[in-house]
Amino acid sequence: MRCGTYRTATRRPWREHLKRIHLGASAGSACTEKHTFPAREEHPSSSSPPELRYRPFTLSNGGGLCPETSKNRSSLMIFRPRPPKECAARCLSARRALRRSRCPPGDPDSFSQNSTWSPARNASETIRTAEPTTRRECGHVATTTRIVPGSAQSPPAAIPLLNRRPLLAICVGVGVVLLALSGRHGYHVDELYNRATREHLAWGYVDQPPLVSLIARVEITVLGDTLAALRVVPALLACVVVWVAALIARELGGRGGAQLFAAAAASASVVTLNAGHVLTTNIPDLVTWVTVGWLVIRLLRTQDTRLWIAVGAVTGVGLLAKNLIVLLLLALLVGVLAMGPRAVLRSRRLWTGAALGMLISAPAVLWQVTHGWPAMEMSAALKTALGEDSRVAFVPFQVLMIGLFLTPVWIAGVVALLRRAQWRAFRSVGLAYLFMAALLIAIGGKPEYTGGLQLVLLAAGSVVVVEWANTTGRRALAGTALVGNVVMSAVLMLPVLPVALYGSNPVLKGLGVFQMDQAAWPQLAEQVGAVNRSLSPPDRAHAVIYANHYGLAGALDRYGPEHGLPHVYSGQNSYADFGRPADDTDVVIAVGVNRKTFGALFTSCEPSGTFKTDLPVADQDTEFLVCRGPLEPWSQLWPKLTWIGFACPYTAEAITAKSEKGCSLT
């Protein structure tokens, strides 16, 4: 940093000069630590002229040059101070230039902020030093550099500049593509449910916290009740995921190329496009996972425990979207305890962040407490529904979550985090993934729960891949993998192909469930409307609709008014809390229920057709029933028709045996 005109030492009165000492670098070299100290410090036994009575210095616990830039061992320069204003401007310019050439983070040769200055000949004699200067004191700056092995107390080396404009272009491109395709095919089954919950805002629901329902309420109120409007926020949050992936690569020392590759890889991953295309709990959960991953990596690099407060705030928001972020925190805690650095866990700010997270998520937690922890029952139902299939499919799903072509990239990220000497501080992140995978296999959790952490590993692997791709052939291979993953993810997660094609192709049929869950809802409402119109006017005036699951109920609620349908009810999850039929309701159009078991609750139940469509949807051949004369008042009948879970078999035992939750998965 040059804050004055300098020249080599000459015989001038020492009071007219300020000194600048470089140990291992010339003026303006990279990776330097700024310090100030009195210019009058002289060697007490020196017989040299006053202007040259300056001892050589070393750093006993600090340093700071990149190994490849360290050449000389000492030099002495004297420069004349400039006026404060001019000096401040020069300092600012020098700082900007310095940022562009700093050591990579985690470098074992990074320097210590708390370095001790001592004479080279006598380490016990220390020379008093002042704190780093402000701009106004810039004329008295002395810059020292030296290679010193890193230590646990070493402060962060500087990170590369953020490649903002290209990254912004990638994020905008992702958002434009998602918004352009948002109106194709139709609502996802979970979107129909979230659209319905927005009319019944609460601090919690049986199967999810309140944040997504609030987002749906705001979007529909501001932008209108359309499919494209409902998907604006998911597209924007997907852009945030892509941006944070680049930030993670930057924290790990990735320069512009690595940042761009990380952003492109994140935008091409299956998990990002899956979450960013539809409004479900997945997209805010994914944002909070990658953000916590970035903050923790930054915390491990900088040892700045103030970041625990930010981690707590993001965690609190994440708990308002989905409870799974607790799993991430548990895995990271195990990783830090096992691999270190454990010092970050001894900070009081950790508890401050925890308190902040609890405060933000307190309303949702209190709702669970006052309603008997339905989330626990939901987890048990999920475990029963998945069975052993989740354990068998866990490893294949790990490949599919990011994409087949980018699997080597995130695996390289795991290996590098665990084995790279420069990334020793981040080993806990790699171990966190291994712990989480083992835990999910043990408890039978969903394989896709690791998706957020895999994006963190993908960003780490991007740094490795860019360093590896130092030839034209390797760069071509990395680019081909990226393009291949884009195509794969788009076919599986975006409406780029006709839905009918997924039914005609055996391979796509097994992988295209996400697309098939978005089709044929208007046709369903039209056919149920035909059943309603077939009723006599007196029956039609007092009829209601009961749908087996919330997807059917949400579709009929969305498209039903166009066909004159009555109010729709369902007993699944929180839909059961949205209301029940009035006690004088005598006619029910039942959609998707079992005729024998459901009909046992009414005087008569007559079939009135089935759902037919040319599209390969799961609700194909869903039966329509017209039931009359409930055998009990609805106040007593309704608890037998409510249930928590994912698929209701409607066995006779389930409906008649349980009084509160009428449908059991066992």
Query: Which tens digits make up the pLDDT trace of 398-427?
Result: 988 999 999 999 999 999 999 999 999 999
Please state, in angstroms and rounded to a whole number, the distance separating the CA atoms of residues 27 and 354: 45
The model's confidence at residue 142, banded by pLDDT at 50, 70 and 90, is very low
Regarding predicted confidence, which is higher, 594 or 360? 360
- Which of 90, 111, 144 is the last residue before a domain boundary? 144
Dihedral sign, Cα of residue 663, residue 576, residue 515, residue 210: negative
- Percent over 70 (pLDDT), the chain: 73
Mean pLDDT for 514-524 is 88
Please state, in angstroms and rounded to a whole number, the distance separating the CA atoms of residues 82 and 87: 6
- Percent over 90 (pLDDT), the chain: 50
Query: So what's the pLDDT on residue 96?
Result: 59
Is position 536 within any domain?
A: yes
The reply to whether 254 and 369 lie within a common domain is: yes
Please state, in angstroms and rounded to a whole number, the distance separating the CA atoms of residues 93 and 87: 10
The model's confidence at residue 212, banded by pLDDT at 50, 70 and 90, is very high
Query: So what's the pLDDT on residue 368?
Result: 92
Residue 121, judged by CB atoms within 10 A of its CB (0-12, 13-18, 19+), counts as: exposed
Q: What three-state secondary structure class fits 581?
A: coil
The model's confidence at residue 485, banded by pLDDT at 50, 70 and 90, is very high
Query: So what's the pLDDT on residue 115?
Result: 38
The reply to whether 117 and 218 lie within a common domain is: no
Q: Which residues pair with 21 in a beta bridge?
A: 76
The token duo for 624 is: 């329509």
Mean pLDDT for 92-97 is 59
Query: So what's the pLDDT on residue 52?
Result: 40
Q: Strands, E, within 108-217: which ranges?
A: 117-119, 141-144
The reply to whether 248 and 117 lie within a common domain is: no
Lowest-confidence pick of 211-220, 471-480, 649-658: 649-658
Q: Provide the residue type at 512 as one letter.
A: G
Is position 563 within any domain?
A: yes
The reply to whether 294 and 189 lie within a common domain is: yes
Dihedral sign, Cα of residue 285, residue 289, residue 291, residue 296: positive
Q: Provide the residue type at 472 as one letter.
A: T
What is the overall mean pLDDT for the chain?
78
| pLDDT surpassing 70 at residue 122 | no
Please state, in angstroms and rounded to a whole number, the distance separating the CA atoms of residues 453 and 441: 16
- In this structure, the number of other CB atoms found within 10 A of the CB of residue 474 comes to 13
The total domain count for the chain is 3
Is position 47 within any domain?
A: yes
Q: Helices marked H in 512-651 — which ranges?
A: 513-516, 521-533, 537-541, 550-559, 595-599, 634-637
The reply to whether 341 and 369 lie within a common domain is: yes
Is position 234 within any domain?
A: yes
| pLDDT surpassing 70 at residue 136 | no
Query: So what's the pLDDT on residue 181?
Result: 92
Pairing of strands 141-144, 33-36: antiparallel
Order of strands, sheet of 543-547, starting from the edge strand that comes earlier in the sequence: 568-570, 543-547, 587-591, 623-630, 602-610
The structure tokens 């139940």 sit at 605
The model's confidence at residue 95, banded by pLDDT at 50, 70 and 90, is low
Is position 376 within any domain?
A: yes
Residue 390 half-sphere exposure toward CB, CA atoms < 13 A? 20
The reply to whether 223 and 115 lie within a common domain is: no
Quick one: which H or E segment has residue 260?
helix 256-268
Is position 156 within any domain?
A: no
The token duo for 158 is: 């500087």
Is position 211 within any domain?
A: yes
Q: Each residue of 275-294: pLDDT tens digit?
A: 999 999 999 999 999 999 99
What does residue 563 show for φ and ψ, rounded to 5 degrees? -115, 15
Mean pLDDT for 523-552 is 91
Under 8 Å between Cβ of 602 and 627: yes
Query: So what's the pLDDT on residue 621?
Result: 86
Q: Provide the residue type at 404 as one letter.
A: L
Regarding predicted confidence, which is higher, 366 or 516? 366
The reply to whether 525 and 485 lie within a common domain is: no
Please state, in angstroms and rounded to a whole number, the distance separating the CA atoms of residues 27 and 92: 16
Structure letter (DSSP) for residue 573: G
Query: So what's the pLDDT on residue 79?
Result: 40
The reply to whether 133 and 171 lie within a common domain is: no
Range of the domain at 577: 521-657
The reply to whether 464 and 551 lie within a common domain is: no
Lowest-confidence pick of 139-148, 258-267, 417-426: 139-148
Query: So what's the pLDDT on residue 148?
Result: 38
Query: So what's the pLDDT on residue 645?
Result: 79
Is position 580 within any domain?
A: yes
Query: So what's the pLDDT on residue 89?
Result: 62
Under 8 Å between Cβ of 275 and 212: no
- Nearest CA-CA partner of 611 in 530, 557, 535, 546: 530
Q: Helices marked H in 371-517 — which ranges?
A: 374-386, 389-392, 394-402, 407-419, 427-443, 451-468, 472-493, 499-504, 506-511, 513-516
The reply to whether 378 and 473 lie within a common domain is: yes
Structure letter (DSSP) for residue 321: T
The model's confidence at residue 92, banded by pLDDT at 50, 70 and 90, is low
The reply to whether 532 and 424 lie within a common domain is: no
Query: So what's the pLDDT on residue 385?
Result: 72
Q: How far is CA 326 from CA 125, 250, 293, 321, 348, in A?
A: 51, 26, 13, 12, 20
- Nearest CA-CA partner of 328 in 364, 283, 376, 289: 289
Please state, in angstroms and rounded to a whole number, the distance separating the CA atoms of residues 252 and 469: 17
Dihedral sign, Cα of residue 30, residue 35, residue 40, residue 46: negative
The structure tokens 């039903």 sit at 560
The reply to whether 188 and 85 lie within a common domain is: no
The C-alpha angle with vertex 142 and arms to 138 and 148, in degrees rounded to 5, equals 135
Mean pLDDT for 331-340 is 93
Query: So what's the pLDDT on residue 155?
Result: 52
| pLDDT surpassing 60 at residue 17 | no
Please state, in angstroms and rounded to a whole number, the distance separating the CA atoms of residues 274 and 280: 10
Under 8 Å between Cβ of 243 and 261: no
